[in-house]
Structure 1
Amino acid sequence: MEEYRADRYKTEGIGSRNPERYMILVLSLLLAALVTWFVMWRSGMAAEGRMQEHLAEEVLRFHILANSDSEEDQTLKLTVRDGILDFLEGEMPETLDVRETVRWIRRHADELEDVGREIVSKEGYDYPVHAAVTTCWFPDRTYGDMTFPAGNYEALRIELGDAKGHNWWCVLYPSLCFLDAANAVVPEEGKQKLQNVLTEEEYAQITTETDFRIKWYFLERGKDKKQ
Structure 2
Amino acid sequence: MNQRGLINLLISFFILASSLQSSGIVTANQQVIPDEAIRLRILANSNSNEDQTVKRSIRDEVNESINEWVADLTSIEESRHVIKSRLAEIEAIVSKQLEMIGSRESFSVTFGEVAFPTKLYGDFVYPAGDYEAVLITIGEGLGDNWWCVLFPPLCFLDFSNGDAVQAESDVVEEPSEEVEVEFFLVKIIDAIVEWIKEIFS
CA displacement at 1:145 relative to structure 2: 5.5
Show the counterpart of 1:136. Answer: 114
CA displacement at 1:100 relative to structure 2: 1.8
Show the counterpart of 1:108. Answer: 86
1:167 to 121, 145, 151: 145
| CA distance in structure 2 between the partners assigned to 1:164 and 1:107 by the alignment | 28
Which shifted more, 64-73 or 174-183?
Answer: 174-183
Matched letter for residue 177 of structure 1 = C
Evaluate the alpha carbon distance shift between residue 179 and residue 127 of structure 1 in structure 2; reply closer, same or farther with a 3 A threshold: farther
Matches within 5 A, 1:161-200: 161-178=139-156, 184-185=163-164
1:124 to 52, 77, 102: 102
CA displacement at 1:85 relative to structure 2: 0.3
Asked if 1 retains the 8 angstrom alpha-carbon contact of 2:66 and 2:150, the reply is no
Show the counterpart of 1:155. Answer: 133
TM-score, structure 2 normalization: 0.58
Q: Which has the larger radius of gyration?
A: 1
CA displacement at 1:117 relative to structure 2: 0.9
In structure 2, runs of 5+ residues without a counterpart are: 1-33, 167-201
| CA distance in structure 1 between the partners assigned to 2:165 and 2:104 by the alignment | 34
1:66 to 44, 50, 57: 44
Greater helix share, structure number: 1
| CA distance in structure 2 between the partners assigned to 1:169 and 1:182 by the alignment | 9
| CA distance in structure 2 between the partners assigned to 1:123 and 1:100 by the alignment | 33
Aligned: 1:85 with 2:52: no
Partner-residue secondary structure (3-state), 1:62: strand
Asked if 1 retains the 8 angstrom alpha-carbon contact of 2:71 and 2:153, the reply is no
| CA distance in structure 2 between the partners assigned to 1:109 and 1:127 by the alignment | 19
CA displacement at 1:144 relative to structure 2: 4.4
Asked if 2 retains the 8 angstrom alpha-carbon contact of 1:68 and 1:165, the reply is yes
CA displacement at 1:70 relative to structure 2: 1.3
Asked if 2 retains the 8 angstrom alpha-carbon contact of 1:178 and 1:184, the reply is no
CA displacement at 1:176 relative to structure 2: 2.1
| CA distance in structure 2 between the partners assigned to 1:122 and 1:102 by the alignment | 29
Taking only the aligned residue pairs, the percentage that are identical comes to 36
Matched letter for residue 106 of structure 1 = K
Matches within 5 A, 1:44-55: 55=35
CA displacement at 1:121 relative to structure 2: 0.8
Partner-residue secondary structure (3-state), 1:172: strand
> How many residues in Structure 1 have an aligned counterpart in Structure 2?
132
After TM superposition, which residue ranges in structure 1, 4 or more long, deviate above 4 angstroms?
179-183
Matched letter for residue 163 of structure 2 = A
CA RMSD of aligned residues (A): 2.6
Asked if 1 retains the 8 angstrom alpha-carbon contact of 2:70 and 2:151, the reply is no
Matched letter for residue 97 of structure 1 = S
Greater strand share, structure number: 2
Show the counterpart of 1:49. Answer: none
TM-score, structure 1 normalization: 0.51
1:33-74 per-residue CA deviation (whole Å, 9 max, x = no partner) reads xxxxxxxxxxxxxxxxxxxxx92xx01111001112211001
Matched letter for residue 68 of structure 2 = G
| CA distance in structure 2 between the partners assigned to 1:168 and 1:62 by the alignment | 8
